[in-house]
Amino acid sequence: MVLTAIQLAAIRQDFVATLTIINKTKPQINVALQAIEDWFEANRVSLGTAIEAAVPGQFTGAQKLKLVKFWLRSKFDRE
Is-contact 68 47, C-beta < 8 A?
A: yes
What's the confidence (pLDDT) of residue 45? 92
Q: Are 30 and 12 in contact (CB under 8 A)?
A: yes
Domain locations in the chain as residue ranges: 5-78
Residue type, 8: L
Average pLDDT over residues 44-70: 95
For the chain, the average pLDDT equals 95
CA dihedral 75, 64, 37, 30 (to 10 degrees): -60
Amino acid identity at 18: T
| pLDDT tier at 79, thresholds 50, 70, 90 | confident
Which pLDDT value is given to residue 55?
Answer: 97
